[in-house]
Amino acid sequence: MDNRDEVKAFLSSRRAKITPEQAGLQHFNRNRRVPGLRRSEVADLAGVSVEYYAQLERGNLAGASDSVLEALARALHLDEAEQQHLAALARAAGPAPRIRRKPAAQHVRPSVARALELMTEIPAFVNNGRGDVIAANPLTRALYAPMFDDATRPANHARFAFLNPRARDFWRDWERIATTTVAMLRSEAGRDPYDKALTDLVGELCTRSEEFRSRWAAHDVRLHSTGIKQFRHPVVGEIDLNFETMQLAADPGLSMTLLSAPAGSADDDALRVLASWAATRDQAPASPESR
């Protein structure tokens, strides 16, 4: 993923999304040939020269100060995720030697594994930035059974969402999940443009999925740390769960996600049924064919 191309596409796509009315411009030609703002208008709003902004949008963010990035964020009405992405792109374009970020661990520390083991009433798992599931407790494996049924390891949320036909039934809000998944991968690509495994994953998904390819081309980014996930599980049916995702400070690149339901709710009851099913499944004797 070439950083200059990424910067160019991101800035031009954000500029195209802002109308003169949204930017607060009082006088402008309504017979416009370009969507969104012109470069000169963004430059005026950010307080920089047109030549300098054109240089930035050509992909040269190297040397851009924090104040310039903040001014661009205001001019383009960037949200928090987009501001973080712009800052990450600027860091990657910096003049310092481009040292590759240490790859995220492919296993969890014993204390984290023990914490997952002790969480028996809620699904809990650890991901890296590519959406690989690094570790998961039994209730997660039961909840995400259609994803874990695929023998490919590590299980990956993006591959499941776009390449597994069961995903569209499993996710009741598949469109939202698909869009969010791509936006999270785009954010990760901004943080670490030299992650070969991520580049390979994006290449595979772009090749095999038009749905992924069109979303990737939008250059949207998103924070995804809390909310509701809507499942249609093959055993317990429809179930809505709250999720919280937190970064593991001692393990850069890894995050832990916890899912839960309000006490006494139908979704909480469904989780308990799912836990019983998981325990029964795990205790089932192996068939003669599998021995």
User: Which tokens hold the place of 6?
Assistant: 């990424």
- Of the pLDDT bands very low, low, confident and very high (cuts 50, 70, 90), residue 28 is low
Domain residue spans of the chain: 3-92, 110-284
Range in 95-109, 163-177, 261-275 the model is least confident about: 95-109
Residue with tokens 């307080």: 47
What is the pLDDT, as a whole number, of residue 97?
Answer: 41
pLDDT tens for 39-75 read 999 999 999 999 999 999 999 998 899 999 999 999 9
pTM of the model: 0.87
Is 239 in contact with 270 (CB distance < 8 Å)? yes
pLDDT tens for 145-199 read 999 998 888 999 999 999 999 999 999 999 999 999 999 999 999 988 888 999 9
b (16+ CB within 10 A) / e for 100-123: eeeebbeebeeebeebbeebeebb
Mean pLDDT of the chain: 90
pLDDT tens for 104-140 read 567 899 999 999 999 999 999 999 999 999 999 999 9
CATH class label, 3-92 = mainly alpha
Rounded to 10 deg, the angle between the 66-75 and 39-46 helix axes is 120
Q: What type of residue sits at position 198?
A: L
Query: What is the distance between the alpha carbons of residues 56 and 157, in angstroms, rounded to a whole number?
Result: 34
CATH number of this structure's domain 110-284: 3.30.450.180
Q: Decide which of 288 and 156 is more confident.
A: 156
Burial of residue 243 (number of CB atoms within 10 Å: 0-12, 13-18, 19+): middle
* Stretch 250-266: mean pLDDT: 95
* Stretch 90-111: mean pLDDT: 70
Handedness of CA 185, 188, 193, 198 (dihedral sign): negative
